[in-house]
A and B are shown apart, each in its own frame.
Chain A
């Protein structure tokens, strides 16, 4: 006869099994929906490009080779794919700059909101979320209207007599940055606010009581405590920024490719789907690794400071 402990164990095992069965449908759907398309992309990256787009079902590593190496079309030598690297570096640089810029503008904004009275906080937060009501493309075109040669700023400056020739702002890197910061700022402010709201301001007062300067308070008390918000905000901005497509092409003029454009080219006029698939996976892997390193490092330092 089974002892009470055995019966209990069996019941427990049964319950665990039931839990698995019950959650299985959801898990299977998530697994399929998340990994299914990715597996198809992976599969396509190992096939041969069809003559007019699509793929032929023949194994080939050519797609992957041409991610990193390019055969010079004129002297046929193999060399490092510098064009791909240049384009990737441009996207990466822009994403990093956008992350830093949104942090610079987002941090004081979030701090300001978090230090208001509870009722006014809601109003400020509400204002921050308003841009989300509008489509990304429309917001980008709104920025274009403001900074173009016959746009709001230039017209105003000319009418005020400050300048007599419009300043070329559209189609510059400056324009791309303005657009990206404007579009991604709420993604930085909201997580920052979430962690600042929890900040115990008595600690700040205690710091001042102990003769800390404002800078020391910011650096040694506030910043370490809101670090999770900084990490979350940076990730939320960085990931869409590195795949940014609309903002750079509308405000930057599309003269210089972003990584997303390069991938699109392969699926469109370039007719090299395997290369496009391989490029997609490459950028995904790089971003994933960078994030893992980043999160691990910041998590570690959080323990030290906290």
Chain B
């Protein structure tokens, strides 16, 4: 083949590939990293003849800032419940009314009408979970259902505790620990919170996110953590257990929203409906290891999840949990100051 015919062939191939891509639909998903099942994506692509592209973000604030700037080209995102009201208020998401979609009947009752999106006018459940403590019970055999592990560390765990540096999560835990209400701006309570945090810190070894690997390798013997992460740690080492602090722990939920600037609105709506199908939700859960809020998905989940105490909150602890809300900006400003003082 000479050069001319080769370049012609290449040109034709290019033409063919672009026309193929434009023939089918597209869907651009903006999601947390490592949080979407590749198998489930393939299923969606096949079912609707849509090409899906996934882009990662690392925090709610990054996602919010980027989407607010506009021109992202994303159709779908997964903000957490504390951010959903902000996204709505800022006019970033489309009112797709998932509450009226075909598969909405599958949404579990406790997630069907959440405070952050009454009537599910904008959002579809993606995953939900809790924040608690993880302890290696080879090292500490006492009660692990308490924030004392982190804030009044038992001797066995001193210098071996990690705290995941999510400001809002740590502040919420500390507020509950001193007996306050979430999002409180009460200076008396916050003073106690500050003192508890500052006094607790010398017993911590680190403040980082990489808990699965570090708990597995024994660098940490306990940590504050998300439940899905706790499950993955226990599967690595059976001595690692997850505790639901009786002082109060948080429920969180991430939700599928369609952006106002979406170019593929129909596909995005299809995706929202698709995610409320129990089989699809289960496929996704099997990957990210969190519960999904879709009733009936348990049937399709792997056996090590349906019985896992990390995923299925034990009845006795349920009453101690609350859904984290969006705190007022001036309260967040106070929390930032405490957080800075803690880490100075």
Hey, which bits of chain A sit against chain B, CB under 8 A? 51-54, 70, 73-74, 82-84, 86-87, 148-150, 168, 170-171, 249-250, 253-257, 261-262, 265-272
Q: Bound complex: CA of A270 vs CA of B340, how far in Å?
A: 9
Residue of B187, B207, B336 near A254 (CB, 8 A) is B207
- Residue contact A254 to B206, C-beta cutoff 8 Å: yes
Residue of B207, B329, B339 near A253 (CB, 8 A) is B207
Scan residues 119-172 of chain B and give those whose CB is less than 8 A from a CB of chain A.
159, 162, 165-168
Q: In the complex, what residues of A have CB within 8 A of residue B343's CB? A: 87, 255-257, 261
Residue of A253, A261, A262, A270 near B206 (CB, 8 A) is A253
Hey, which bits of chain B sit against chain A, CB under 8 A? 59, 61-62, 64-65, 68, 86, 90, 159, 162, 165-168, 187, 190-191, 201, 204-208, 217-219, 329, 332-334, 336-341, 343-344
Q: In the complex, what residues of B have CB within 8 A of residue A74's CB? A: 187, 190-191
On whether A255 and B204 interact (CB within 8 A), knowing A54-B65, A87-B344, A261-B343, the answer reads yes
Q: In the complex, what residues of A have CB within 8 A of residue B64's CB? A: 52-53
- Residue contact B205 to A253, C-beta cutoff 8 Å: yes
Classify the secondary structure of A's interface with B.
loop
Q: In the complex, what residues of B have CB within 8 A of residue A84's CB? A: 340, 344
Q: In the complex, what residues of A have CB within 8 A of residue B162's CB? A: 253
On whether A254 and B334 interact (CB within 8 A), knowing A150-B218, A268-B62, A271-B329, the answer reads no
Number of residue pairs A-B, CB distance < 8 angstroms: 95
**How close is B198's CB to chain A, nearest CB, in angstroms?**
12
Of the candidates B217, B329, B333, B344, the one having the most CB atoms from chain A within 10 angstroms of its own CB is B344
Q: Bound complex: CA of A51 vs CA of B328, how far in Å?
A: 8
Q: In the complex, what residues of B have CB within 8 A of residue A272's CB? A: 333, 336
Q: In the complex, what residues of A have CB within 8 A of residue B90's CB? A: 52
Q: Bound complex: CA of A181 vs CA of B317, how far in Å?
A: 49
29 cross-chain CB contacts under 8 A:
A51-B329, A52-B90, A53-B64, A53-B68, A54-B68, A70-B337, A73-B190, A73-B334, A73-B338, A74-B187, A82-B344, A84-B344, A87-B340, A148-B217, A149-B219, A150-B217, A168-B159, A253-B205, A253-B206, A255-B204, A257-B343, A261-B343, A262-B340, A265-B336, A266-B336, A268-B59, A268-B61, A269-B59, A271-B332
- Residue contact B334 to A255, C-beta cutoff 8 Å: no
A70 nearest CB neighbor, chain B only: B337
Q: Bound complex: CA of A148 vs CA of B341, how far in Å?
A: 28
Nearest 3 interchain pairs by C-beta: A253-B206, A51-B329, A83-B344
Q: Bound complex: CA of A70 vs CA of B168, how far in Å?
A: 21
- Residue contact B190 to A255, C-beta cutoff 8 Å: no
- Residue contact B329 to A52, C-beta cutoff 8 Å: yes
On whether A73 and B206 interact (CB within 8 A), knowing A268-B59, A271-B61, the answer reads no
On whether A73 and B337 interact (CB within 8 A), knowing A256-B343, A268-B61, A268-B62, the answer reads yes
Residue of A53, A70, A170, A257 near B219 (CB, 8 A) is A170
